[in-house]
Chains A and B, each alone.
Chain A
Amino acid sequence: MKFPEILAPDAPALRDDRSERFVSYGELKTRAAAWAARLDGSKALVFLYVPNRVDGVAALLGAWQAGHAVALLDPGLGAEGRIALFDAYLPEYVIADDADGNLDVSTGKAGPAPHQDLTLLLSTSGSTGSPKFVRLTSAQIRHNAEAIADVLDIRADEVGCGHLPLHYSYGLSILTSHLVRGAPVLLTERSFTDRAFWTQARAAKVAHMPGVPFHFQMMQRLRYERLDLPDLRVLTQAGGGLSVEERRAAHSFMDGRGGRFYVMYGQTEAAPRMTTLAHEDFPLTPDSVGTALPGGRLEIVDDQGEAVAPGENGLVIYRGPNVMWGYAERREDLALGDTNKGRLETGDIGRLDAAGRLTISGRAKRFGKIYGLRVNLDEIERAVAGMIGRCAVVQTGELLHIAHVDPIDGDVVARLADLFTIPRTAYRLHQIDAIPYTGRGKVDYRKLEREL
């Protein structure tokens, strides 16, 4: 992977919270080369606790230039989580902020060589301590970056807002889809509730603002028309379902100013984008996530894997050159090749209309999305059970409910906040008399949801 191909060395590339101007593509290339030199050697695994800063991207591009596989990790992950990941993967290099807040590299262990084409490892969920990674190649990342740049019509003179974390597949795709077009990206670690975020976005002339549902709810509350971003041309929404009413507000705002609003659907497993709903199609199917990306294909099947009748709900299957090779849970798995063969069972339930537009109607498995982060409810339940014994975890809206029988102390939420990146305020603890079970002896989550 050699992002970016330099289209114009003097063109602006990146700017961050520490810089008042854009670093050019030529300068970025020089900085990436310096990282590549520091990471010289045979194919290795690099852990990059990546900040949303120019040096974070330079380190990523440098590690790729040196030919390594890079795991992009959440810099907010605590010491306990970092040790667990290190032990599972034995990375040769760990790049993370030092005490002064500058990226530094330390040498780690030496494990078996990763597959020659393995380029990127991303965590599958908002539970950043989880060792389950998605394995991606350069070809997959590049294909997806270019397909996104195509459908969103990303132009070299329009600034993307890189406020979503780079270790999050959606955040990374904002970066890569702009880099392939030689377009500039404002990287920031500030949030929408920070006044400086908006002044900075204005000064940097942000044209493309991406967000998960939470960001759209926030922009609506701040009121779109007061955001005062004169160069804004595109809003994109992914990372879970936003209500039709909330989508309408975003669409109508962008429509009124001659811009565009795209609803998108993806998963980290697809590097990550799978569908986009064009701005013009929104009024026709406001609850849809749109059609498959160029080169991709959607199928809806039943439990037996047979295609369902058109318009019927079923399991959503995506095929495309951007589908991951497979998962990894430990170092040895990095030597594996393609185990998915371009086919992804999304775990979502949905239907296709006559024009091939997908509408998602639910999840087949116990996954939820909270503030755009995918949450594996069973995984959280196991973690909580390890702390407090018998419990059951269900999700309603943006809340995560933990039902338990035995009394617990208040530290559980603090410990969970260390382990998972779900906002602390999303947790709700409920002490109940007994966890309900179905006739087959499984936890009756639906009954539990009703009771809480």
Chain B
Amino acid sequence: MEDRVFAQFADVLALDPLANRAELVYNEYPGWDSVAHMTLIAALETEFDCMLEMDDILDMSSFAKAVEIMQKYG
């Protein structure tokens, strides 16, 4: 699960495979702005073949949180 979510982050934010996952925080990590956030949501929805709830989209404030949320869908 974590790697599947990370693959989407890596793709959208152009991350190094060895990037520190704990540093991935919305509005703090360079490039993870609102635009990237929606691209990321789209990528996760495609990867997990689902539609995220509004609350989940707004709650996804870090990589760890994203993994937690995607448990529900994966």
Contact of B30 among A223, A226, A371, A424 (CB under 8 A): A424
In this complex, the interface size class of chain B, counting residues with CB under 8 Å from chain A, is 10 to 19
8 Å CB contacts to A: which residues of B31-47? 31, 33-39, 41-42
The answer to whether B58 and A195 touch across the interface, beta carbons within 8 angstroms, is: yes
Contacting A at CB under 8 A, from B1-54, are 12-14, 26, 30-31, 33-39, 41-42, 54
B64 within 8 A of A: no
Complex CA–CA separation, A222 to B60 (angstroms): 13
Q: Mark A181-218, 1 if CB is under 8 A from B, else 0.
A: 00000000001111100100000000000000010011
Among candidates A193, A417, A424, A426, residue contacting B38 with C-beta atoms closer than 8 Å: A193
Residues of B within 8 A of A214 (CB): 35, 38
CA distance A198 to B58 in the complex (A): 10
Contact A193 B13 (CB under 8 A): no
A81 at the interface (CB under 8 A from B): no
Interface hub of A223, A414, A424, A425 (most chain B Cβ within 10 A):
A425
Contacting residues, chain A, for B41 (C-beta < 8 A): 221
Once the chains are docked, how many angstroms separate the CA of A262 from the CA of B26? 32
Instruction: Name the one of A221, A223, A424 contacting B31, with C-beta atoms under 8 angstroms.
Output: A424
A423 in contact (CB, < 8 A): yes
Q: Is the CB of B35 within 8 A of A423?
A: yes
Is A221 in contact with B57, judged by CB distance below 8 angstroms? yes
Contact with A along B47-74 (1 / 0, CB 8 A): 0000000100111000000000000000
Bound: A198/B59 CA distance, A = 13
Q: Of A193, A195, A223, A413, which is within 8 A of B34 by CB?
A: A193
In angstroms, Cα B26 to Cα A222, docked, is 17
- The answer to whether A223 touches B35 (Cβ under 8 A) is no
**For B33, what are the chain A residues with a Cβ–Cβ distance below 8 Å?**
191, 423-425
Residue interface bits A39-52, CB-to-B below 8 A is 1, else 0: 00000000000000
User: A425 near B12 (CB under 8 angstroms)?
Assistant: yes
Given known contacts A191-B34, A193-B38, A371-B35, A425 and B13 CB-to-CB distance under 8 angstroms: yes
Q: B18: shortest Cβ distance to chain A, in Å?
A: 14
In the complex, the answer to whether A423 meets B57 with C-beta atoms within 8 Å is no
Interface residues, chain A, CB within 8 Å of chain B? 191-195, 198, 214, 217-218, 221-223, 226, 371, 413-414, 417, 423-426
Sample of 13 more A-B contacts, CB < 8 Å, known A222-B54, A425-B14, A425-B35: A194-B34, A198-B58, A214-B38, A217-B38, A218-B38, A223-B54, A413-B14, A417-B31, A423-B31, A423-B36, A425-B12, A425-B36, A426-B35
